[in-house]
Amino acid sequence: MNRRLLAGSIITLLGAALAVVPGGSSTVAAAAGEPYTLWYDEPAPDTNEGWESRSLPIGNGAMGATVFGGVAAERLQFNDKTLWTGGPGVPDYNFGNWDAPRPGALEAVRERIWKEGGIPAEDVLAALGLKSDTPRHRRFGAYQSFGDVRLSFPGLPERAADYRRELDVERGVAGVSFLAGDVRHTREYFASAPAGVVVARLATDRPGGVAFTARIAVPANRSATATASGGRVTVKGALSNNGMAYEAQLQVLHRGGTRTDNPDGTVTVSGADSAVLILGTGTDYADDYPSYRGRDPHARLTARVSAAAAQGHARLLAAHRADHRALFGRVALDLGGVMPARPTDDLLAAYGTGDPAADRALEQLFYQYGRYLLIASSRPGSLPANLQGVWNVLEAPPWQSDYHLNINLQMNYWPAEQTNLAELAEPLHTYVDRLREPGRVTAGQMYGADGWVAHHASNIFGQTGAWDHPAYFFPESGAWLAGQLYDHYRFTLDERFLKRTAYPIMKETARFWRDFLRTDPRDGSLVAVPSRSPELGPSTAGTAMSQQILWNLFTDLRDAATLLGDGKEARAAAAVLERLDPGLRVGRWGQLQEWKDDRDDPAETHRHVSHLFAVHPGRQVSPRTTPELAEAAKVSLNARTDVGTGWSKAWKINFWARLLDGDRAHKLLADQLRTSTLANLWDTHPPFQIDGNFGATSGMTEMLLQSHLGTIDLLPALPGTWRDGQVSGLRARGAHTLDLVWRSGRLSEVKVTPDERGTVRLRSDTFRDGARVVDGRGRPVSHRVNGDLLTFSAKAGERYRIT
């Protein structure tokens, strides 16, 4: 809509095309109403606010860029996940560890907790937290904006007719199209994972109609030199904070007209038929503890940009589309939505006001947008998606745009397995593995323990110690992350991954906790002490979330050890489980307790609902297995209310789906869309925080399919608003791929393809009326129905159809 709300700031141009686009054939000139396209009838304002709420993101995992779509002046803000301040380049950086030993500090904290029942979190901070005269942001650091590609177009107006700016998440391509006079201008942007660059193509439907000057602008917190040679803009320097070397190269290619390299490090193109821009970035960061520094990026970056330029636009685009389609195309969702010919910001503003088909279309788009954002911000070989994925415009972003390990990083990867993007979790797995080396030092120094540990927040420099804030004491982070790695095995049955990656991490994590756990003198159980419910309340012994996470860790370890034939480890894990407090109690007002003592406040509406970890992502509490505890979880959720930040609402979608209340889960989804979603469909805390996007996609999937209890539960929390629909390509634990069709709120058809031979166990109330199972050739398959449970023996790779 032609109005200025929150509007945005930054876009990155990479690689452009050389072929002339015939009149009106631009990829962005397509009609409105495409189901997986965000589109707008005005540019994003060239401000930080505009960047946050209006710019359109593209990314290849390592790099990100945002498209503003200005007519006379375009801004492409870009990022590289390795550009951070802080870390070993700062003289007193010590990975969050203590500068000197603190004999007796931990035991003194524990003694106080045993005597007083709970102590202020600030007292734990004073005893165990980080103490330094250097400001936190200087030593810990923050994710940085790399800079902006700025394009100025002489002779073009500020506003143009027939304007359209779009992001096609199905193709992974953004674009801008408009009329200036009688000339059609088209601009296309994509971030290529195969080539490792961002590409832009500029064209008009009139020969000689492309003219612009390109430059790269970088923030002031670094040294910078800019040169232009052979049509390539190079900007390089070092961050002032830590000396990290960085370099950006922008290759400008043109067809027709002239190109001039200017003394100020800019490139001007005049009278061209089309132009292609190829952007690459690099730093001297290396994921190598303790220095985290490698070679100067110049040679590698030059080779990468030159290789991309040699391919040409057509080949770059074809390779990008094939790569993106291979991931995005695995899952399709139809909730009965019909996308209207309406800009996305108008569609969002009208959500819930009386057009059910449009509402379902927005929900379908929002679902797939979460998958798109993961594809764009997490690829094998890159760092994991951070609090803002791969996109950041600021030198001092909210929460450093770091890795929060007390839910946010984990939530980023909730949709990876279930929405058939399992390989995109590789950056998370590698990141966790690389935390172990610095984490061993922290475990030994702070706790006198074996194994490894990490706390609430980390960076790209191995920060595993505590911070100077009470919220940041959370040694359970590593245990939670280890569970996420084991869940990857449960979805894929990849035994090599289990042996080489997940199991060693799980074992070492458990070693730390065997040393950390203490016997509670009140009942003889093993509890974590000190322990705190994330960001809320006192430090105590045996907080519910701590105990639930540890129940998951030792249960997973016992199962994995048994599977791998490690009887000694299986017995050790089982011995801990026998004594471990499970963190499950029903309190005085019927709630699932947040602390071991019944101290929950029924008026507390904090955004964290940590004591329901056992519901999601854990598996201790379910209406199917523990109905009394599930009812207590509902009491706790209702007390917290449906109000919350964007990511909190997203977590509550998952909670209510696991509690089999589809209508309540959908209500939270609707609340998130109405109150916690920006015009560009980014989730807002506020401010922008990407985990809410990923959490919502996960929650919508949990409404359609669950498998955490060992049986594949079909449509377990289908809301009344999704009366008819279908979904294909979802993944279930046990390495199954499923397609579902439902009509009038009842399952009508299932297709199951198991990766491995074995027994398939499906649950649906529809089976009570009987079912027919056939294989891929239509031959009947022997099966058994027992109430709502259907089982049959399956062959690996065979596709079975159940009606």
Q: What is the amino acid identity at position 133?
A: D
Q: Indicate if the pLDDT at residue 257 is higher than 80.
A: yes
Give the pLDDT of residue 136.
Answer: 66
Q: What is the amino acid identity at position 244?
A: M
Q: Indicate if the pLDDT at residue 748 is higher than 90.
A: yes
Can you tell me the distance from the alpha carbon of 509 to that of 512, in angstroms, rounded to the nearest whole number? 5
On whether the CB atoms of residues 527 and 542 are closer than 8 A, the answer is yes
* Mean pLDDT confidence for 710-730: 98
Q: What is the 3-state secondary structure (H, E, C) of 329-391?
A: CCCEEECCCCCCCCCHHHHHHCCCCCCHHHHHHHHHHHHHHHHHHHHHHCCCCCCCCECCECC
SS3 of residue 22 by DSSP: coil
Q: Indicate if the pLDDT at residue 193 is higher than 70.
A: yes
On whether the CB atoms of residues 172 and 376 are closer than 8 A, the answer is yes
- pLDDT band per the 50, 70, 90 thresholds, residue 608: confident
Q: Average pLDDT over the chain, rounded to whole?
A: 94
* Mean pLDDT confidence for 720-727: 98
- pLDDT band per the 50, 70, 90 thresholds, residue 472: confident
524 versus 99: the higher-pLDDT residue is 524
Q: What is the pLDDT of residues 692-719, one digit of tens each?
A: 999 999 999 999 999 999 999 999 999 9
Work out the widest C-alpha separation in the chain, in whole angstroms.
Answer: 84
Give the pLDDT of residue 716.
Answer: 98
Give the pLDDT of residue 11.
Answer: 30
Which residues are CB-contacts of 377 (< 8 A; sequence separation ≥ 6)? 59, 61, 64, 385, 389, 390, 391, 690
Give the pLDDT of residue 534.
Answer: 87
Give the pLDDT of residue 21.
Answer: 32
- pLDDT band per the 50, 70, 90 thresholds, residue 466: confident
- Determine if the peptide bond prior to 340 is cis (ω within 30°): no
On whether the CB atoms of residues 557 and 569 are closer than 8 A, the answer is yes
Q: What is the amino acid identity at position 266?
A: T
Q: What is the pLDDT of residues 474-503, one digit of tens each?
A: 999 999 999 999 999 999 999 999 999 999
Percent of the chain with pLDDT over 70: 95
Q: What is the pLDDT of residues 334-391, one digit of tens each?
A: 999 999 999 999 999 999 999 999 999 999 999 999 999 999 999 999 999 999 999 9
For 564, counting Cβ atoms within 10 Å of its Cβ (0-12 exposed, 13-18 middle, 19+ buried), the class is middle
Residue 200: in which H helix or E strand, if any? strand 197-204
Give the pLDDT of residue 138.
Answer: 81
Helix-then-strand count for the chain, H and E: 19, 33
Give the pLDDT of residue 465.
Answer: 93
- Residues paired with residue 86 on neighbouring β-strands, in sequence order: none
On whether the CB atoms of residues 683 and 672 are closer than 8 A, the answer is yes
Can you tell me the distance from the alpha carbon of 15 to that of 275, in angstroms, rounded to the nearest whole number? 9
Q: What is the pLDDT of residues 98-128, one digit of tens each?
A: 988 999 999 999 999 999 999 999 999 899 9
- pLDDT band per the 50, 70, 90 thresholds, residue 133: low
Closest listed residue to residue 540, CA positions, set 448, 631, 611, 453: 611
Give the pLDDT of residue 535.
Answer: 86
Which residues are CB-contacts of 126 (< 8 A; sequence separation ≥ 6)? none
Q: What is the amino acid identity at position 339?
A: M
* Mean pLDDT confidence for 569-597: 97
Lowest mean pLDDT: which of 90-94, 420-424, 668-672?
A: 90-94
* Mean pLDDT confidence for 761-767: 97
Question: How would you classify residue 23: left for phi > 0, otherwise alpha for psi between -120 and 50, otherwise beta?
Answer: beta
Q: Indicate if the pLDDT at residue 9 is higher than 50.
A: no
Q: Indicate if the pLDDT at residue 10 is higher than 80.
A: no
Can you tell me the distance from the alpha carbon of 779 to that of 782, in angstroms, rounded to the nearest whole number? 10
For 228, counting Cβ atoms within 10 Å of its Cβ (0-12 exposed, 13-18 middle, 19+ buried), the class is buried
Give the pLDDT of residue 24.
Answer: 35
Closest listed residue to residue 409, CA positions, set 695, 613, 672: 695
